[in-house]
Amino acid sequence: MTYKYDFEPVFAAWPMLVDGIVGTLKMSSLSMVMGLSLGIVFMLMRMSKHRAPRALAIGYIEMIRNTPILVQVFFVFFGMPAIGIRLSGEQAAILAMTLNCAAYAAEIVRGGVQSIRPGQIEAGRALGMHGLDIYRFIVFRPAIRAVYPALCSQFILMMLNSSLMSSVSAEELTYFAQTLDSQTFRSFEIYLTLGVIYLALSQFFSIALGMIGRVYFSYPAK
Amino acid sequence: MNGTSMSEKAIAMSGVNKWYGHLQVLKGIDLEVGRGEHIVLCGPSGSGKSTLIRCINHLEEIQQGTVTVNGTTLAQKGGNADHIRRDVGMVFQQFNLFPHLTVLQNCMLAQRRVRRTPAVEAKEKAMRHLERVHIAEQAEKYPAQLSGGQQQRVAIARALCMDPKIMLFDEPTSALDPEMVKEVLDTMVSLADDGITMICVTHEMGFARAVAHRVIFMDRGEIIESAKPDVFFSNPSHERTKAFLSQILNH
């Protein structure tokens, strides 16, 4: 082995890597927030007592969970222009990740809602509260709390999956790494550094989500 | 209880039948409850007593018969259940406090969302009722930080915040440790003294003697016997009532 390690070109390109980190953080956070919101809508449809919304939600969730996210983003980016919807790489990435995240979030949150004792809902009804108010003020927080760790690992998984978005030229970390690789051919150094950055980002999300959880979803419990 | 206020009916159930699948859990229930009347419902487990009171505020649907609360007859599918629930407070065996809200927030939520009461007013009323059940000093705590007896008193205060005319108690002391039963019963006795209409599913026969105008015994979905407490305990007329009383009183 005579390979001579040289991280110099990688570190010299730090502004590019910072751009990449910003891009990854932006796309991931946006998709998490929008994916969770949309996921809650699908969860409510999935639990509806009416057949049509339930069937629609099940169909959607199964379709997303049983196809690769790479195919999903290719469909959004390359497929949708055929029906007149033309998105930039970044827009396509955020849309695909949001749609993907929504399906998983819907199922995770549904688990949380099902863990709520019926007595909680009955207490709300006995006080004269309505369906959506009961969800919003009584069910939601304990439900999210019950599944918060699962939700967080899904979010982190999605942040890692955002590296696939480089294939539609979304300007995130892996995209810039590939660009740098084609300029310097320092593949070993570049992808090793990239791995370390993703590891750090995972830790960052893990800590940040943990803090959000402590503020919004924690209260004394037995 | 004087005759004039009793003559107006708070609750009237007539010919109520209810099934779970093929199992009939309520059989031809006819029951009238006067304004300000206190009723204790007892009977063996599975006799339908909890189901009966849950039909009054439409937590359970009935298949036949009518339930009328303060002159409003409950629609079969519960279309006007909200209207009825406005007048009916309920206290559950498992307290069912909202674990993510403080005691004070538990008492304010429905006032804010259902009655649209301004926050200041809602808080003031919540504190008044929490004081009444002697738990105002715990207002900022979460349910999990309270004992069972304290939680149940908060649940009573929460129901009272909606100014109910009728209170339903579904085995309010059955999930409590023995040393906490008294504090909850004392709270209920003081409520009774204020003249609120009350239906209480309980096996606390001391409570029944102290506050009930009538004790009703149910078995297998039917009302077997209904009598004033002194008559009910000293001279029950039905064999099933006698058997039940001997089981719960003689040990």
CB–CB of B110 and A129 under 8 A?
Answer: yes
Mean pLDDT of B172-182: 93
pLDDT at A1: 66
Residues A2 and A115: their CA atoms lie apart, in Å, by 59
The predicted pLDDT at position A196 comes to: 96
Percent of chain B with pLDDT over 90: 84
CA distance B181 to B177: 7
* Cβ separation B85–A124 shorter than 8 A: no
Contact A165, A89 (CB under 8 A): yes
Q: Tell me, what's the pLDDT at B99?
A: 96
* B100 interaction partners in chain A (CB closer than 8 Å): 141-142, 145, 219
Mean pLDDT in residue range B237-246? 91
The answer to whether A35 touches A72, Cβ cutoff 8 Å, is no
Contacts of B112 (CB under 8 A, 6+ apart): B119, B122
Per-residue pLDDT of A80-124, as tens digits, reads 999 999 999 999 999 999 999 999 999 999 999 999 999 999 999
Q: Is the distance from CB of A136 to CB of A72 less than 8 angstroms?
A: no
Q: What angle do CA A189, A194, A197 make, to 5 degrees?
A: 130
Q: Is the pLDDT of residue B83 over 90?
A: no
- Answer yes or no: are the C-beta atoms of B204 and B36 closer than 8 Å: no
Q: Provide DSSP, A143-198.
A: HHHHHHHHHHHHHHHHHHHGGGGGGGT--SHHHHHHHHHHHH--HHHHHHHHHHHH
The pLDDT of residue B80: 87
* pLDDT given at position B248: 83
Q: Exposed, middle or buried by CB within 10 Å (0-12, 13-18, 19+), for A204? A: middle
Give contacts of B74 with chain A, Cβ < 8 Å: none
Q: Select the residue of A127, A141, A220 nearest B144 (Cβ to Cβ).
A: A220
Q: Which of B32, B54, B19 is CA-nearest to residue B201?
A: B54
Give yes or no for B100 touching A (CB within 8 A).
yes
* pLDDT at B249 (0 to 100): 76
Using alpha carbons, select from B163, B215, B169 the residue that is nearest to residue B188. Answer: B169
Contact A128 B144 (CB under 8 A): no
The answer to whether residue B180 neighbours chain A at the CB level (below 8 Å) is: no
DSSP of A36-82: HHHHHHHHHHHT-SSHHHHHHHHHHHHHHHTS-HHHHHHIIIIIGGG
- Supply φ then ψ for residue B183, to 5 degrees: -60, -35
Shortest distance, CA A169 to any CA of chain B (angstroms): 44
Cβ contact, residue pair A123, B92, below 8 Å: yes
| Long-range contact set of residues B241-244: C-beta below 8 Å, sequence gap at least 24 | B241/B217, B244/B42, B244/B43, B244/B44, B244/B217, B244/B219
B108 neighbors B157 (Cβ within 8 angstroms): no
**Residues above pLDDT 70, as percent of chain B:** 96
Q: Does B61 touch chain A (CB under 8 A)?
A: no
Give the model's pLDDT for residue B6.
43
